Structures are given as structure tokens and as C-alpha cells.
Amino acid sequence: MNFASVRIITDDLDGLIAFYEKVTGVSALRPAPVFAEFVLPSCTLAIGHSQTVSLFGAGSARAAHNSSLIIEFRVQDVDVEYARLKPLVDEWVQEPTTMPWGNRSALLRDPDGNLVNLFAPVTEDALKRFKERS
């Protein structure tokens, strides 16, 4: 089994696409007017308009109602990304902080309220863990 993607359901497809294009620096692929994908080297972030929910079963997902998932992007330098994105992000949950497990992390909310973590391993143990995964 291979992990393929994470999909966000939104009522504002164009707005969320524009936001993630700024965050990732990648242009979205738009195979359909109600669907987009950000194909990154390690994963794919998909965004579907709430109109697509009926294809999976009415009421199976609701736009802008996530409170248990964190979308995480590993970056080269958290502080550099924080400075770059600070003027573009309306809500920062946490400024750059080194976590007990060795990652430097900054958390923000996307326009739909989804929590996004920008992180980089910075301690020797954290760097080793990520090197072992490569």
C-alpha cells in the first residue's frame, strides 16, 4: 500500500489553491474545475470543492470543519519560511519553536482554518531519524 494524498474539501477552491500555491511555491494541477492537486516530491495535497462530496456520499465531508488533522510540510529553514509567509497568513498559531522531539516548527491556519505545520529537524537525533527514512 502506498500513501497517495491528503484531500481538503472547501467551499472556496480558488482561494485555497491560491493560498497553497504561495505556501508551497508549486502551481496546482487542475484536472477538473472542482478539483486541484499539488504534486510535491514526497506527497500530493489535493483540494476538492464541496460540490465533489456528493460523489463520495452526501454529507461524508464538510468544508472548513477540521479540528483533528495537521497538514505538515518539511522545509529547509522554518524561520526563513515564517518570515516569507508572515505577511500572507492571517493566523499564526505558533511562531517558530523547537519542539521536544527535535523539530523546529511554526504552525499556521489556512483560510479554511486547517492547521498547517512547517517544520525542519534541527537536533542531532531528529536529523538522524529523517536521514534513516530517506
List, for residues 12-57, the tens digit of each pLDDT value. Answer: 999 999 999 999 999 999 999 999 999 999 899 999 999 999 998 9
Of 17, 39, 63, the residue at which a domain comes to its end is: 63
pLDDT beyond 80 at 134: no
pLDDT at position 58: 85
Burial class (CB in 10 A: 0-12, 13-18, 19+), 132: exposed
List, for residues 85-130, the tens digit of each pLDDT value. Answer: 999 999 999 999 999 999 999 999 999 999 999 999 999 999 999 8
pLDDT at position 74: 96
71 and 59 assigned to the same domain: no
**Phi, psi dihedral angles at 36 (to 5 degrees):** -145, 155
* Total count of domains within the chain: 2
**Phi, psi dihedral angles at 52 (to 5 degrees):** -80, -15
pTM for the predicted model, two decimal places: 0.92
Contacts of 44 (CB under 8 A, 6+ apart): 4, 5, 6, 37, 38
Tell me, what CATH number does 118's domain have?
A: 3.10.180.10
Q: Which residue has the cell 505556501?
A: 23
Query: What is the residue range of 21's domain?
Result: 1-63
Residues constituting the chain: 134
